[in-house]
Structure 1
């Protein structure tokens, strides 16, 4: 089973232009690590011109910490296709940088330990939220001289119960198979503006970027505290439009179970910094969680 790229040439460039862009993002890349303290990372999934540098901060930290055997990648399901909780079963994913193998054994074990997940490739066919993470993973894996695998999981249901179920299922599956895993939660944060049909109140245009950051930091503080219930409470109270809270919650649950004790915000920006448009402002954050 092969999953071909759906958004290459749209969300990220093709060929040498992609390689050159990744080299620019990672120009400050340090040495590959081996201690393996990072348990999970959060990275955005917008077009690379807007959020690529922020996403690279998550993968730079993982590279310098040490790469796992398998990345379990949670992404929101924007298309509505397939199972509500869809674990890609097996095979390979293709990007302009080559192929990445799916860890089919771990995928099946996650579904076995979950009460809600299904093995399903249809949900992944056109979804971009996981695909855009792969060139970053391929780049750091090639630099480290290491082969890694992935387990892609899309979510169209996102709440505390889903987070608890999936975070626990990944933890149990990794423990049962003895698999070294890092969880990636692919998400953008606040989506504000007429482009998204979301303008809860009118504010001066020059105030909006700071307001979006303020709203996002309320959610991010809960993530940094490993507080899944608090994160969802903030989202509901603000009517926050973060698109991947379920995957973020699952990454927090997994990290707590595996012994993470700290989380760090590495980088934050908004699309306004590039577009200068207040018709559509999206927040992007890079976060990692670590064991002691």
Structure 2
């Protein structure tokens, strides 16, 4: 069986026992596993755990306490440019330092079949970090629950409203066709600001920058909380915003609407400046969930 080996263990997140220790700290306030299953989708960042791990953990804590699904469909941006523009990982296992996670191949094939734009493709995922960094959170919690959870990784090289509508509908229709209990995860970071990214749309004192970046991010986040995919993309275009995973977020919103979600909640927001204190590169991170 095909195994996708970790590409960023030891850099974006620890590769040894320190990973369990870090996850234990992130989830020190974890409650009991729930059974409500109101959550349809979540948004989580994908930077190094030292910067965004706690924010990501808030999404997974909420999902655990709501009840783990059978399958996580995880959408992340394709930073490498390899492979298909809309790449659904077809089958096999993904490996991290915590072990292997099975790909839900039946669900993957159904999504690709029902989508008008997606391909079954492994190459796009080979070195991509945006989905890989989500897996230790899922593995840690599924082990606590004693429950086997599968994944469908989807890497997006094209991100727009058309992609969001197509994939959101395809995931929903596939889940209904197969009777699969699904949560969609949109892996994204928000504003990327600074000389390191070649993007300095406004100037401010160092102590003011996180607030200015938060203002820009919250213009986008407000649209997300309103389930307004078109509005989100308009804000991104008008501001020249550098959010890296809007297609995945748009997909999560479309899927959630179809799955009966009625509300969205921002659980946590921060920026990398809180850790690095550097203005050369500042990135925003948010944890959001959608609920029936």
TM range (shorter): over 0.9
Distance in 2 of aligned mates of 1:101 and 1:118: 19
Instruction: Give unpaired runs (5+ residues) of structure 2.
Output: none
Distance 2:208 2:196 in 1: 18
Q: Secondary structure at the match of 2:279?
A: coil
Deviation at 1:202, TM superposition (A): 2.3
2-side partners of 1:205 and 1:139: how far apart?
Answer: 37
1:230 paired residue number: 231
For residue 4 of structure 1, what is the aligned residue in structure 2? 5
Structure 1 residues 1-292: aligned runs within 5 Å:
1-291=2-292
Match of 2:47, SS state, is: coil
1:127 is displaced (CA, Å) by: 0.1
Q: Counterparts of 2:171 and 2:263 in 1: how far apart (Å)?
A: 20
Cα displacement (A) at 1:200: 1.8
CA deviations on 1:58-113 (whole Å, 9 max, x unpaired) are: 00000000000000000000000000000000000000000000000000000011
State the Cα distance separating 1:206 from its structure 2 match. Answer: 2.0
SS at match of 1:287: strand
CA distance in structure 2 between the aligned counterparts of 1:262 and 1:281, rounded to whole angstroms:
29
> 1:37, 1:12 → 2: CA distance?
30
Partner of 1:205: helix, strand, or coil? coil
Distance 1:204 1:106 in 2: 49
TM-score by length of 2: 0.99
Query: Residue 49 of structure 1: CA displacement?
Result: 0.2
* Structure 1 residue 15 displacement after superposition: 1.5
Q: Distance in 2 between matches of 1:163 and 1:148?
A: 24
**SS of aligned partner of 2:207:** helix
Counterpart-to-counterpart distance in 1, 2:107 and 2:206: 47
How many residues are treated as equivalent by the alignment?
291
- For residues 145 and 61 of structure 1, the distance between their equivalents in structure 2, rounded to whole angstroms, comes to 17
Q: Deviations over 1:210-257 (max 9, x none)?
A: 011000000000000000000000000110000000000000000000
In the alignment, structure 1 segments of 5+ residues that lack a partner are none
Report the secondary structure of 1:284's partner residue: strand
RMSD: 0.5
Whole-Å separation in 1 of the counterparts to 2:290 and 2:45: 16
The separation in 1 between residues aligned to 2:19 and 2:3, in whole angstroms, is: 21
Residue 258 of structure 1, CA deviation:
0.5
Deviations 1:142-201 (A, max 9, x none): 111100000000001000000000000000000000000000000000000001000123
TM-score (norm 1): 0.99
Deviation at 1:14, TM superposition (A): 1.3
Secondary structure at the residue paired with 2:208?
helix
